[in-house]
Amino acid sequence: MSEIRIKTVETKKELKQFIKFAWEINSSDPNWVPPLITDRLKALDKTKNPFFKHANAAYFLAYNHDKIVGRIAAITNQMHNDFQNDNAGFFGFLEGINDPEVFKILLTFQI
Protein backbone atom coordinates (compact mmCIF):
# COMPACT_ATOMS: atom_id res chain seq x y z
CA MET A 1 0.00 0.00 0.00
CA SER A 2 1.40 3.35 -0.95
CA GLU A 3 1.67 6.16 1.52
CA ILE A 4 1.08 9.23 -0.60
CA ARG A 5 1.36 12.56 1.17
CA ILE A 6 0.87 16.09 -0.12
CA LYS A 7 3.33 18.87 0.65
CA THR A 8 2.93 22.55 -0.11
CA VAL A 9 5.72 24.02 -2.24
CA GLU A 10 7.41 26.59 0.00
CA THR A 11 10.96 27.09 -1.25
CA LYS A 12 12.57 27.96 -4.57
CA LYS A 13 14.14 24.49 -4.60
CA GLU A 14 10.69 22.91 -4.23
CA LEU A 15 9.32 25.19 -6.97
CA LYS A 16 12.05 23.94 -9.30
CA GLN A 17 11.12 20.35 -8.37
CA PHE A 18 7.48 21.21 -9.09
CA ILE A 19 8.47 22.49 -12.54
CA LYS A 20 10.97 19.74 -13.37
CA PHE A 21 8.52 16.97 -12.48
CA ALA A 22 7.03 17.48 -15.95
CA TRP A 23 10.26 16.10 -17.44
CA GLU A 24 9.90 12.90 -15.46
CA ILE A 25 6.36 12.39 -16.71
CA ASN A 26 6.70 13.58 -20.30
CA SER A 27 10.30 13.07 -21.43
CA SER A 28 9.55 9.77 -23.19
CA ASP A 29 6.79 11.37 -25.29
CA PRO A 30 8.30 12.26 -28.69
CA ASN A 31 5.65 14.98 -29.13
CA TRP A 32 6.42 16.75 -25.85
CA VAL A 33 8.12 20.09 -26.19
CA PRO A 34 9.57 21.04 -22.81
CA PRO A 35 9.11 24.61 -21.63
CA LEU A 36 12.05 26.74 -20.67
CA ILE A 37 12.61 26.36 -16.95
CA THR A 38 13.34 30.09 -16.60
CA ASP A 39 9.99 30.91 -18.24
CA ARG A 40 8.13 28.58 -15.90
CA LEU A 41 9.93 30.06 -12.89
CA LYS A 42 8.85 33.57 -13.94
CA ALA A 43 5.28 32.48 -14.65
CA LEU A 44 4.90 30.83 -11.26
CA ASP A 45 6.77 33.51 -9.29
CA LYS A 46 4.20 35.57 -7.41
CA THR A 47 6.55 38.57 -7.32
CA LYS A 48 7.30 38.60 -11.07
CA ASN A 49 4.07 37.60 -12.80
CA PRO A 50 1.49 40.45 -12.97
CA PHE A 51 -1.32 37.86 -12.84
CA PHE A 52 -0.67 37.62 -9.10
CA LYS A 53 -1.67 41.25 -8.53
CA HIS A 54 -5.26 39.97 -8.60
CA ALA A 55 -4.81 36.25 -8.11
CA ASN A 56 -3.23 33.75 -5.79
CA ALA A 57 -1.92 30.24 -6.20
CA ALA A 58 -0.57 27.44 -4.11
CA TYR A 59 1.55 24.64 -5.52
CA PHE A 60 1.58 21.11 -4.15
CA LEU A 61 3.73 18.03 -4.65
CA ALA A 62 2.62 14.48 -3.94
CA TYR A 63 5.21 12.16 -2.47
CA ASN A 64 5.34 8.41 -2.03
CA HIS A 65 7.98 8.14 0.65
CA ASP A 66 10.70 10.54 -0.65
CA LYS A 67 9.83 10.27 -4.36
CA ILE A 68 7.70 12.90 -6.10
CA VAL A 69 4.78 11.14 -7.77
CA GLY A 70 2.50 14.05 -8.69
CA ARG A 71 1.81 17.78 -8.66
CA ILE A 72 -1.07 20.24 -8.78
CA ALA A 73 -1.65 23.99 -8.46
CA ALA A 74 -4.70 25.57 -6.82
CA ILE A 75 -5.55 29.02 -8.15
CA THR A 76 -7.97 31.82 -7.29
CA ASN A 77 -8.47 34.75 -9.64
CA GLN A 78 -10.19 37.65 -7.88
CA MET A 79 -10.86 39.54 -11.13
CA HIS A 80 -12.69 36.51 -12.50
CA ASN A 81 -14.69 36.10 -9.31
CA ASP A 82 -15.59 39.81 -9.18
CA PHE A 83 -16.67 39.86 -12.83
CA GLN A 84 -18.62 36.60 -12.63
CA ASN A 85 -19.94 37.38 -9.14
CA ASP A 86 -18.89 33.97 -7.88
CA ASN A 87 -16.27 32.32 -5.74
CA ALA A 88 -14.62 29.95 -8.21
CA GLY A 89 -11.31 28.26 -7.82
CA PHE A 90 -9.20 26.63 -10.49
CA PHE A 91 -6.49 24.01 -10.71
CA GLY A 92 -3.66 23.39 -13.12
CA PHE A 93 -0.32 21.69 -13.58
CA LEU A 94 -1.98 18.38 -12.75
CA GLU A 95 0.45 15.58 -13.53
CA GLY A 96 1.34 12.32 -11.90
CA ILE A 97 2.67 8.86 -12.35
CA ASN A 98 0.37 6.25 -13.86
CA ASP A 99 -1.47 5.53 -10.60
CA PRO A 100 -5.13 6.45 -10.06
CA GLU A 101 -4.52 6.76 -6.32
CA VAL A 102 -2.11 9.67 -6.92
CA PHE A 103 -4.77 11.57 -8.87
CA LYS A 104 -7.48 10.74 -6.35
CA ILE A 105 -5.39 12.19 -3.55
CA LEU A 106 -4.30 15.24 -5.58
CA LEU A 107 -7.90 16.07 -6.47
CA THR A 108 -9.48 15.44 -3.06
CA PHE A 109 -6.97 16.54 -0.43
CA GLN A 110 -7.82 19.51 1.75
CA ILE A 111 -5.39 21.99 3.18
Residues 6 or more apart whose CB falls under 8 angstroms from that of 101 comprise: 2, 4
Range of the domain at 75: 4-108
Residue 73, pLDDT score: 98
Compute and round to an integer the Cα radius of gyration of the chain. 15
Distance CA 61, CA 87 (A): 25
Residue 65, pLDDT score: 92
Torsion of CA 93, 18, 59, 35, to 10 degrees: -40
Residues of the chain with pLDDT under 50: 1
CATH number of the domain where residue 30 is located: 3.40.630
Residue 110, pLDDT score: 87
Residue 84, pLDDT score: 96
- Report the side by side order of strands in the sheet with 4-8: 4-8, 55-64, 67-77, 90-96
Residue 101, pLDDT score: 95
Distance CA 58, CA 74 (A): 5
Provide the domain count of the chain: 1
What pLDDT digit, counting tens, does each position of 49-75 carry?
Answer: 999 999 999 999 999 999 999 999 999
Residue 2, pLDDT score: 67
Distance CA 21, CA 95 (A): 8
